[in-house]
Amino acid sequence: MDIITAIRDRHCNRAFLERPVEPDRVRDILNTARWAPSGVNSQPWQVAVVTGSTQQQIGDLIIAAREAGQKENPDYPYYPDEWHEPYVTRRKTCGLALYQSLGIGREDKDKRVEAWYRNYRFFGAPVGLLFFIDRGLQTGSFLDMGMFLQNIMLAAREYGLETCPQASLAEYPDIVRDALELPAEQLLICGMALGYPDPEAPVNLFRLERVPVENFTRWYD
């Protein structure tokens, strides 16, 4: 697959086949992704690969916390406290398209909760990735991590695999760290589902538009 196609056709997959992904294939993807650039070659990324019972445990614990009314306590704010345009409209459009693809109406709260909880199950993907950086690092390391994440998503496509990056899996970082026996110094950035996509799942078929270059670019001579 050429790099332009890999970038343009990539999208978030939220339904996966039960087909397993070999550990060596995950290693190949990470071995490619590690060539991402980083400030002063700091290479700040740390990755936890979770499958089987560990993946199940993390999902169970997060869902139990939400059911018990436990407040989210992410290590950093991903979203703004208040949304404004054009981001309000983009957010609403995304949510509407997602729930429409699932056949879930606005008033069907139970099904919406059920759909949201699939986030914590890595959408049924056989492999879950969780990404960490040392707490003492600064904002630049988040940029480095973003480039590393994109490398993973593109490299996965070379092997017929797809992904979904997930901020939701960082909502309860203490739960994740405890499950993985990681120290508090490891800041949880996000998770990612990895697996073979279900090509017939409606949730994998909807697409969101991207604004044209003219909308976000200024040219200076």
pTM of the predicted model as reported, rounded to 2 decimal places = 0.95
Query: pLDDT digits over 166-214, tens only?
Result: 999 999 999 999 999 999 999 999 999 999 999 999 999 999 999 999 9
Q: Looking at domain 8-78+120-208, which CATH architecture does it have? A: 3-Layer(aba) Sandwich (3.40)
At 107 the pLDDT is 84
Distance between CA 5 and CA 1 in Å, rounded? 7
Confidence of residue 86 (pLDDT cuts 50, 70, 90): very high
Domain boundaries, the chain: 8-78+120-208
Nearest-5° Cα angle at 29, 25 to 31: 110
Beta bridge partners of 186: 134
Query: pLDDT digits over 47-66, tens only?
Result: 999 999 999 999 999 999 99
Query: pLDDT digits over 10-39, tens only?
Result: 999 999 999 999 999 999 999 999 999 999
Query: pLDDT digits over 106-117, tens only?
Result: 888 899 999 999
Distance between CA 133 and CA 170 in Å, rounded? 13
Comparing C-alpha atoms, which of 220, 144, 190 is closest to residue 47? 190
